[in-house]
Structure 1
Amino acid sequence: MVPGLDGLFSQVFSRGGAAAEVTDAAWLAAMLDVEAALACAQAGLGIVPEAAAEAVGAACDPELFDLAEIGRLAARTANPVVPLVAALREQVPAGLRRYVHHGATSQDVNDTAMMLLARRALTQILGDLRAAADACAGLAGRHRDTVMAGRTLLQQAVPVTFGLKAAGWLTALHRSHARLTALRLPVQYGGAAGTLSVLGERGHEVPPRLAAELELAAPVVPWHTDRTPVAELACALGVTAGALGKIATDVKLLAQTEVGEVAEPSAPGRGGSSAMPHKRNPVGAVSALACVQRVPGLVASVLDGMLAEHERAAGSWQAEWETVGELLRLTGSAASWLREVLEGLTVDAGRMRANLELTLGLPMAENVVARLGGTPQARELVDAACARAAAERRPLKEVLLAGSGLGLSEQELDSVLDPARALGSAGAFVDRALERSREDR
């Protein structure tokens, strides 16, 4: 069990690999990685002695630091970097201590550590998104022509295919994956007010070297109060969470007892109820939604923090630390839950067809109007037939044959009322989504 991930709700909200990358211990390790990389970058430029970089690198071992004590002392300065740097200097030989954190300000370390955490957590999230997308591709291919009721405003509309629904999930996941992959996560190194004056005229040489050391992006200028990189990260996570939430919503609705068109993976005890032994709750979709529904407020908090004052924000920047960690953790957890759901999803094609037939052919009314030329007169006749069929609970075909004046034979009606003959470009859309998926791979 990862420390910090063994709480009462952790297995719901901290599922997947991303959660371990944003714990307090992970933050500490990332801050130390930044300090070590900074010393190394400066040594490579001849700004600090090579011995200093070696000493700092050796001292940046998380096991040498008391996380709880650093957290306690952070309250004095509203910043954990201050006590961390003090503790780090104690681990370095006295003659080299002045090179620790050289030219940096606390925000440089916090911001760069946050970008480092994000990169590490995103690696985990992207893996789950890719696996979930692969599962959607499999569903789309297997059910390319599986007819089901399309539903608009929660009512049956016209026929669609489950393959098309899965293809929609697939493309949304691919867009989210691409958006997260394209993020530029930059290092931060600007010193007290963005000028790096302590380094004379050589400060601008350090960020590219620091970025190379940490495998992050090099910024054009310090971005202490330009919070665009953090906002872009938050928004991309918010959109990804929304895409995951849409899939979870579809699954929970399709899994309702009265619908029963899909079912989540089963296992002993999974989906059980404390009161009702017969229940098989869609716990994966429910858990993903519980994560997703917490995300929009966190994104809003980050966006609000863009209103930073002058060269260093007072409060809004600090508010990002746990917020961004929560965004990564919750989005990662939702991705992990949905991956499991989609990889084990059971699809009941027979139930889909049976549910479509519950409406006695009424979803095919649009197809009948189109067959008759789409004229206002045709629409009026079909509307009247639909109203009668609904009121009398009779099949639309029976009503249409009973003298509606449409002039269609029984054979023609069988053809026009067949849902499999009214799917338009559904198959082509599925094929297109699968081809794009293969290209993206």
Structure 2
Amino acid sequence: MSDGHGLFDGVLAAGPVAELVGDRAWVQAMLDFEGALASAAAAAGAIPDEAAVAIESCCRAEDYDIGALGADAVRIGNPAGPLVRALTERVAPEAAAYVHLGATSQDVIDTAAMVVTARALAALHADLRTCATRLAQLAEEHAGTVMAGRSLLQQAPPVTFGRTAAGWLGGIVAALDRIDLIRRERLAVQFGGAVGTLSSLRGNGIPVLSELARRLGLVEPVLPWHTERSRIAEIAGTLGQTCGAVAKIARDITLLAQTEIGEVSEQGPPGSGGSSTMPHKRNPVAAVLAAGSAAQAPGLVATLLSAGAHEHQRAAGSWHAEWRPLVELLRSTGSSVHWLRVCLERLQVDPQRMRVNLDSTGGQLLAEHVAIELTSVSHGAVGRQEASDLVAVCCRAAGPDDLADVLAADAVVGKFLNRKRIGELLEPAGYLGSTDEFIRRALNDWQSRL
């Protein structure tokens, strides 16, 4: 894919990551490898210092025709070969012999993949931290904003919106943890030559490898990983996990924003969230686009994992199968996180509507509270299952506003619980358990990482 703007890019390639994984970024990353390799070789005494300087001076992506490199890639099956040839033609003749010394095409592209991924993950990390900060703010502000919990899409015992936001925060923090680990430990330089022995560098292989990793800011691997692709698998898994965390939040927001629920909404700039045919619509468009971008991830992760079996010392096809899905996965993940950030910046919470929805079943979502209290005050005379069954019968018999009266009139329930106590038990704010402590724990966990 070119760096130009495609028809769907504004939707599915939004945010800073898209540019960081585009064609020009890849070419620059490959040239960064070649420049760093020359400098590392010079530092190890394998090539003259002047040659390294000459090679590095020609490692600017804007000097190369990306379209021509792509067209020439079919000759050897990858774009590194044409780029090395073009670089060699650009450098001074006395330095030409030292271009790409000791490396193979896969070294260039695998290392470029790590460089591109590192830059993309840095941008992704920044957007995720912004999301986490906003979620922590929502969790704190709405710690006491009671809303209906929902189980299997039906109303369940109450929660607070702060607890909901804290749960969302947990998913984002977990994604940040994985991204931090990948950035710190798993983005490694690739340098092994034709079959992973660096034989063409004779005794200079390891010193050049070490210096190359240092100059590129990548991990120095124990040995070349041409056909050991756990790094790619871990990157894929982490990006998939991130998209899963985003998709969960986006899905919840789109559900809570439904007309019939209306507990949250997005307040974007004029014109955002509209419809091509329905003038009244106010769609949570950023949440929708976050979900749509995140939905690309599972198939891309699966492709990268299925390409993990690389035969012998260098694979035929499996390595090539990784390029496009890795780019698309980084781009889609970046877009999903970008749109989540926009969504959270626009998000408006409606506590009054939450209360209306809480009261819409006449207290039936507190039936569990009544059953537990009945078991407790009867001192075992009414068992847990019996209490649950008794309360369920009352719920089925009750109208929208008379559950407390029906419960009080029941021979068994009324024997142990009077009408006043039943009314207290049906107050949502009185059945929140450890909600406050869970929110506090989530916020403390996030604060400890800042």
**What TM-score bracket applies, with the shorter chain setting the length?**
over 0.9
CA drift of 1:404 comes to 4.0
Percent sequence identity over matched residues?
A: 49
> Which amino acid letter does the alignment assign opposite residue 81 of structure 1?
A
Q: Does 2:407 align with 1:400?
A: yes
For the residue of structure 1 that corresponds to 2:40, the secondary structure is helix
CA–CA separation in structure 1 for the residues paired with 2:92 and 2:137: 59
CA–CA separation in structure 2 for the residues paired with 1:95 and 1:213: 24
For the residue of structure 2 that corresponds to 1:253, the secondary structure is helix
Tell me if structure 1 keeps the 8 A contact 2:52–2:95.
no
CA–CA separation in structure 2 for the residues paired with 1:395 and 1:404: 16
CA–CA separation in structure 1 for the residues paired with 2:352 and 2:411: 31
Could you tell me which residue of structure 2 aligns to residue 151 of structure 1? 150
CA–CA separation in structure 2 for the residues paired with 1:424 and 1:245: 28
Tell me if structure 2 keeps the 8 A contact 1:5–1:20.
no
Q: Does 2:305 align with 1:314?
A: no
CA drift of 1:259 comes to 0.4
Write the deviation string for residues 300-355 of structure 1: whole angstroms up to 9, x where unpaired: 11111111111111111111112111111110110010011112210000101110
Matched pairs, number? 438
Could you tell me which residue of structure 2 aligns to residue 124 of structure 1? 123
Tell me if structure 2 keeps the 8 A contact 1:5–1:14.
no
Could you tell me which residue of structure 1 aligns to residue 237 of structure 2? 235
Could you tell me which residue of structure 1 aligns to residue 266 of structure 2? 264
From 320, 323, 326, the counterpart of 1:324? 326
CA–CA separation in structure 1 for the residues paired with 2:212 and 2:411: 78
CA–CA separation in structure 1 for the residues paired with 2:362 and 2:411: 17
> Which amino acid letter does the alignment assign opposite residue 196 of structure 2?
G
Could you tell me which residue of structure 1 aligns to residue 204 of structure 2? 202
Q: Does 2:167 align with 1:176?
A: no
CA drift of 1:211 comes to 0.8
Q: TM-score, normalised by structure 1?
A: 0.97
Q: Does 2:111 align with 1:112?
A: yes
Tell me if structure 1 keeps the 8 A contact 2:405–2:419.
no
CA–CA separation in structure 2 for the residues paired with 1:267 and 1:131: 20
For the residue of structure 2 that corresponds to 1:307, the secondary structure is coil
For the residue of structure 1 that corresponds to 2:115, the secondary structure is helix
CA–CA separation in structure 2 for the residues paired with 1:417 and 1:23: 57
Q: TM-score, normalised by structure 2?
A: 0.95
CA-based RMSD: 1.3
CA drift of 1:394 comes to 4.4
> Which amino acid letter does the alignment assign opposite residue 299 of structure 2?
G
Could you tell me which residue of structure 2 aligns to residue 59 of structure 1? 58
Could you tell me which residue of structure 1 aligns to residue 427 of structure 2? 418
Q: Does 2:156 align with 1:162?
A: no
1:422-437 residue pairs with structure 2 within 5 A? 422-437=431-446
Write the deviation string for residues 240-273 of structure 1: whole angstroms up to 9, x where unpaired: 0000000000000000000000001322110110
For the residue of structure 1 that corresponds to 2:319, the secondary structure is coil
CA drift of 1:222 comes to 0.2
CA–CA separation in structure 2 for the residues paired with 1:189 and 1:300: 27
For the residue of structure 1 that corresponds to 2:432, the secondary structure is coil
For the residue of structure 2 that corresponds to 1:222, the secondary structure is coil
CA–CA separation in structure 1 for the residues paired with 2:235 and 2:3: 24
CA–CA separation in structure 1 for the residues paired with 2:391 and 2:333: 47
Write the deviation string for residues 204-223 of structure 1: whole angstroms up to 9, x where unpaired: 22221111101011100000
> Which amino acid letter does the alignment assign opposite residue 84 of structure 2?
V
CA–CA separation in structure 1 for the residues paired with 2:175 and 2:216: 24
CA drift of 1:393 comes to 4.0
For the residue of structure 1 that corresponds to 2:107, the secondary structure is helix
CA–CA separation in structure 2 for the residues paired with 1:283 and 1:316: 38
Could you tell me which residue of structure 1 aligns to residue 373 of structure 2? 371
Q: Which runs of 4+ in 1 moved over 6 A?
A: none
CA drift of 1:382 comes to 1.2
CA–CA separation in structure 1 for the residues paired with 2:230 and 2:141: 42
> Which amino acid letter does the alignment assign opposite residue 127 of structure 1?
A
CA–CA separation in structure 2 for the residues paired with 1:289 and 1:414: 41
CA drift of 1:4 comes to 2.1
Could you tell me which residue of structure 2 aligns to residue 101 of structure 1? 100
Could you tell me which residue of structure 2 aligns to residue 362 of structure 1? 364
From 241, 244, 247, the counterpart of 2:246? 244
Structure 1: 5+ residue stretches without partners: none
> Which amino acid letter does the alignment assign opposite residue 128 of structure 2?
L
Tell me if structure 2 keeps the 8 A contact 1:288–1:337.
yes
Could you tell me which residue of structure 2 aligns to residue 388 of structure 1? 397
CA drift of 1:14 comes to 1.2
For the residue of structure 1 that corresponds to 2:57, the secondary structure is helix
CA–CA separation in structure 1 for the residues paired with 2:387 and 2:110: 65
Query: Aligned pair in 2 of structure 1 residues 404, 134: CA closer, same or farther (>3 Å)?
Result: farther
Q: Does 2:29 align with 1:30?
A: yes
Tell me if structure 2 keeps the 8 A contact 1:264–1:344.
yes
CA drift of 1:5 comes to 4.4
- Of 321-330 and 124-133, deviating more is 321-330
CA–CA separation in structure 2 for the residues paired with 1:143 and 1:395: 30
CA–CA separation in structure 2 for the residues paired with 1:9 and 1:404: 64
> Which amino acid letter does the alignment assign opposite residue 421 of structure 1?
G
For the residue of structure 1 that corresponds to 2:97, the secondary structure is helix
Write the deviation string for residues 29-85 of structure 1: whole angstroms up to 9, x where unpaired: 110011000101111111111011100000112122111111100011110011110
CA drift of 1:202 comes to 2.2
Q: Does 2:418 align with 1:409?
A: yes
For the residue of structure 1 that corresponds to 2:390, the secondary structure is helix
> Which amino acid letter does the alignment assign opposite residue 261 of structure 1?
E
